[in-house]
Structure 1
Amino acid sequence: MNSRRTTRGRRLWTFAVAGLLTVAAAAAPASATQQNTGNGNADTKPTVVMVHGAWADASGWDGVTRRLVNHGYTVRNPPNPLRGLSNDAATIRDFLSTLSGPIILVGHSYGGAVITNAATGNPNVKALVYVDAFAPKEGESVFPLAGADSALNVDPATVFDFVPYPGAPDGDVDLYLKHSTFLDSFATGVPRPQAELLYANQRPLTLSAGFAPSGTPAWATIPSWYVLGTEDAIITPAAQQFMAERAGSTITRVKAGHLSMITAAPQVSAVIEQAARATS
């Protein structure tokens, strides 16, 4: 008897899920049509979507998120899989497709490469905001863009811990930052106790993701803003300047290391709001 009830329950659950998916699929075109008709009420603030980079997670946006929410913005910070540029961009692209209305899309570090690819062709993305981020052009990969003096541009064995992962292609591994690199180069300016927590919680990037070629850049057609950390040791200030100027970004310099969204959250929030106002 219990077995029959369990089987019946599973069938009901399967039918319910299938029904929800059917409803969602039917509603999607209507939602997309609504999104493409414009911004609607001029007083409606855009949704801010922030994408974290490698060796981090969405909690790095907490200070920025708090300020934006207090100023009336809806904020969404989806996880970045960090499995490969095309996969990561597709994940964020699909997430964006579920949102209605105008979007301000923000990326930190490797997340900048992700938004560069994820926003291409999406008319709802009104502005891109790069925060100490990669902004590659088509065919470029992120690691070579970090700059000649980057802390990453040394013997990889001195910077990374190499960790295998299931199903990895030949030669691919997960990259974790070594403790010294994380504290001395990645989390500069972050209070030591907080930096230690960030190190313990870091999420790895695959080696292959660092060398994957980028696609058509969204910054070629979408206006962009750039927060440039003048003390960044991961993506050098010179490299950031080059990418920001090439993208035609409005540049704001902050005295901060690579994690300026943590150590300079008010300034980063202000730039995001500037982008939102300028494109509303």
Structure 2
Amino acid sequence: MAKPTIVLVHGAWADASSWNVVAAALQSQGYTVLAPTNLLRGIATDAGYVASFLAQRTSGPVVLVGHSYGGFVITNAATGGGDVRALVYVDAFIPDEGETVFQILGGSGSALDVPDPTTVFDIAGYPGAPDGDAEAFLKPDTVHKFFAQDLSEADRWLIAAGQRPITISANTTPSAGAAWKILPSWAVVGTEDLVIPPGIQRSMAERAGATVTEVAGSHVSMVSHPQDTVTAILAAAAHVGG
């Protein structure tokens, strides 16, 4: 049976390069790997783009993988295009229909759930923004202390320099679907994740009936501990049949 295509969807403050080590490991085992851009504009736009990408750029079964906010996107994109057979969530949101990012993080102990957002974010307007919307960038100090604390200092500075911002509205728009209700799911939980605390990740994964792997990693455990993510993806691919 043909191997499924692996599609890797990055999260906020990242780009497809955040998957480089994972992608290379999967490619070395003969998998076709694609890592589309996540536009980070809002659920409808972002999920619509990924669904369109799946419909046009894949053929045959797909294992769809999301990191962080990318979990929100794959949850909404999986039934919109392509033949998605399994979902893998890596330090990710696994929302139910109607939930928002801010709602999930509220009261969770997340380093980003603070009374004054400007203590962890730099907020900037962007052309064509709806009234009241803006982009959120991580302050360098937030990257170093909370986002990627288990990477080298040089890598943390590169993340701070090259981060792609997410709109405020993307974090306040409810999920329109919950593909995990009809697709088998796997979850990699970073036990040192300070952005989406591990307890929240575990509860979402349990609700989804996901097969859970825990790793002593930060919010970017697919960079600091890539093999755990690779192993989870391979398990999903084996379930699909490739």
1:56-113 alpha-carbon deviations (Å, 9 max, x no partner): 1110000100100001000000010001111000000000001110000000000000
Q: Return the TM-score normalized by structure 2.
A: 0.96
Structure 2 residue matching 1:82: 3-state secondary structure: coil
Would you say 1:88 and 2:49 are equivalent positions? no
What is the count of residue pairs matched by the alignment? Answer: 238
Aligned to 2:151: 190
Aligned to 1:78: 36
Aligned to 2:204: 243
2:61–2:240 contact (8 Å) kept in structure 1: no
Deviation, structure 1 residue 224: 0.3
141-150 vs 251-260, which deviates more? 141-150
Aligned to 2:104: 145
Hey, what's the Cα distance between the residues in 2 that align with 1:89 and 1:130? 15
Please, which runs of 5 or more residues in structure 1 have no aligned partner? 1-41
- Aligned residues with identical type, % of pairs: 53
RMSD: 1.0
Deviation, structure 1 residue 144: 2.2
Q: Which amino acid aligns with 2:113?
A: N
Choose which of 96, 101, 108 in structure 1 pairs with 2:67.
108
Q: Which amino acid aligns with 2:59?
A: S
Please, which runs of 5 or more residues in structure 2 have no aligned partner? none
Choose which of 177, 186, 196 in structure 2 pairs with 1:225.
186
Hey, what's the Cα distance between the residues in 2 that align with 1:120 and 1:183? 36
Deviation, structure 1 residue 256: 0.2
User: Which structure has more RCO (C-alpha within 8 Å, separation ≥ 6)?
Assistant: 2
Q: Return the TM-score normalized by structure 1.
A: 0.83
145-154 vs 99-108, which deviates more? 145-154
Hey, what's the Cα distance between the residues in 2 that align with 1:191 and 1:151? 20
Structure 2 residue matching 1:200: 3-state secondary structure: helix
Deviation, structure 1 residue 120: 2.2
Determine which structure has the larger helix proportion and give its number.
Answer: 1
2:4–2:240 contact (8 Å) kept in structure 1: no
1:127-166 alpha-carbon deviations (Å, 9 max, x no partner): 0000000011000011221352100110211111010001
2:97–2:178 contact (8 Å) kept in structure 1: yes
Aligned to 2:21: 63
Instruction: List, as ranges, runs of 4+ consecutive aligned residues in structure 1 with deviation greater than 6 Å.
Output: none
Structure 2 residue matching 1:171: 3-state secondary structure: coil
Change (3 A) 1:242 1:134: same
